[in-house]
Amino acid sequence: MASTSLSDKFHFFEEDVSQIDLPEKFTFPFSYQAHPLAITAAKQVQRYLESSFENNHNFGLDPDQEGLIIGKMFGVLVIRNQVGQLGFLAAYSGKLDQGDQLPYFVPPVFDVFEKGNFYRVEEVNISALNSEIESIEKNTSFQALQNVFQESKDQSAREIEDQKEAIRQSRKERKERKTEALESLSTEEAKRIIDETIKESLKQKYELRVLQENWQNKIDELEKELEPFLFKIEQLKEERKSRSNKLQKQLFENYTFLNAHQEEQSLLTIFIENLGITPPAGAGECAAPKLLQFAYSNDLKPVTMLEFWWGASPKSEIRKHKEYYPACNSKCGPILGFMLDGLEVDENPMKNNPAEGKELEIIFEDESIIVINKPADFLSVPGRFVKDSVQTRIRKKYPDAFLVHRLDQGTSGIILLAKNHEVYVKLQRQFTGRTVSKKYVAILDGLLKEKEGFIDLPLRVDLENRPFQLVCYEHGKPAKTKYEVISEENGKTRIHFYPITGRTHQLRVHAAHPSGLNTPIVGDDLYGKSADRLHLHAAHLEFTHPTTGERVNFTKKEEF
């Protein structure tokens, strides 16, 4: 096993960083501007990965490399050691190749691959149970019995249904005979016919009951023969389930994390006891917890950190090679919430009101509707931390007003409001019926080969990392966009988007995803690189006026 000593993990900067000012506070990991020190460290790690890294893991960067392609998130943590020297630690999320620890990177919080630990021992026991279950299921006698049993059930079902159908047909014939007898025969003769039909009915019911009982007896006999096999399989599965649950709990207890106060909590405490939820798969395996855990365990002072993606993008998420990303919310949110306690951390930027000092421009207003030009970085509706929004401001003047649709916080442009619920319903029908025409202007961070086209990528929310959206063909909702290139300048592309559907982050994902345009919108801090603002503007909106019935349209030019 590779050494986990501090000397292997503490890396000095290859470049002179003495002129870079240290940050006043530690990085808020879920939304940040990468600090120059962290960027310098990340680039040094990337050079190492490009030139000196020896591993069989296939990141998808070498087209000739075999094996499953899995890109990875890497992280760097700039730290000071016990004597005040500045350096950094590096880590990767999850595991690489066969799970062996690598000298350059900090170890996992808990190493499930360590020989002799409880996880490896119990994993062998559970694997043995799986093998025993598989051996029984593949037993030729068991398989032959199962086949006979299933064939008997199928045949019995067919024969019983055929008999029931014959009874139904006979019932119709008997009814016709009784009707004809009552109409054309004497009372005595008609009574004889009716008695005959009753006997026939009773006979058929008896025959059906005998058939059902015979088949049930045969199936019961086959079940008795199968029972020893099935009982053993069920017994083994119950034991496997019990062992797996105990192992999972033990694992949660052994994944223990420190904070800056040197206090300790386990995954069990952080998720199950504190939040009442089961830890997500892979919780504690991300780069950020690994880095902080190693720093706290070795008396190293965290200064700043960042995470970057290395390798090919996954099919569903948007991850660009070498780009910086925030920590994930579902796995890392609760863990880092504990681990950062005791550090002076940058304030969550989501708590700042981006609309402070900005005004809403009313483009048009009448007795039914209000058309507004929303500034960039202005919420459409109240958020978790900030309540100031288009909706709250308009409702101060018009308490019954409704937002008919929304724009992302970073998106500027035309947004429509109804002054009452009746108007809102009429306008909503137009949006859901797709009779509203919309045009957006965006600047993409790159050039496109195709000057116009159509994007069809279904979307759903990333349940483990809201508010990110995923491309998902199984559970995603249809999302369709037309586009046309307007101009190109300085390696950037000005483009018009015509969304046919209106999914959350639709244009941003369709622009950035490899199966879309593979070119993110300038300033997209979720799916691309942050800038002064998100260069996306709702420039044109056309719909049928809910009161006059006339087709109306509004245009507002972008300011970028």
Tell me if residue 538 falls in helix, strand or coil. strand
Nearest to 149 by CA among 73, 226, 212: 226
CA atoms within 13 A on the CB side of 206: 6
Tell me if residue 533 falls in helix, strand or coil. coil
Strand 480-489 relative to strand 452-456, pairing: antiparallel
Tell me if residue 240 falls in helix, strand or coil. helix
d(CA 242, CA 238): 6
HEC assignment per residue over 41-69? HHHHHHHHHHHCCCCCCCCCCCCCCCCCC
Which residue's structure tokens are 């760097």? 76
288-304: burial string, b at 16+ Cβ within 10 Å, e else: bbbbbbbbbebebbbbb
CA atoms within 13 A on the CB side of 109: 29
Q: Active-site residue 408, yes or no?
A: yes
Give whole-number Cα distances, 120 to 97, 123, 161, in Å.
18, 5, 54
d(CA 364, CA 366): 7
Side chain identity at residue 78, one-letter code: V
Longest pairwise C-alpha distance within the chain: 120
Tell me if residue 227 falls in helix, strand or coil. helix
DSSP 279: P
DSSP annotation string for 149-212: HHHHHHHHHHHHHHHHHHHHHHHHHHHHHHHHHHHHS-HHHHHHHHHHHHHHHHHHHHHHHHHH
Q: Helices 140-184 and 118-137 meet at what angle, rounded to 10?
A: 50
Query: Environment class of residue 220 by beta-carbon count within 10 Å: exposed (0-12), middle (13-18) or buried (19+)?
Result: exposed
The sheet with strand 86-92 has its strands ordered as 86-92, 72-80, 301-310, 324-325
HEC assignment per residue over 492-514? EEEEEEEECCCCCCHHHHHHHCC
Tell me if residue 446 falls in helix, strand or coil. coil
Number of CB atoms found within 10 A of residue 284's CB: 24
Kindly name the residue from 408, 445, 524, 525 that is annotated as catalytic. Answer: 408
Number of CB atoms found within 10 A of residue 244's CB: 14
d(CA 105, CA 310): 15
Could you give the residue numbers annotated as active site?
Answer: 408
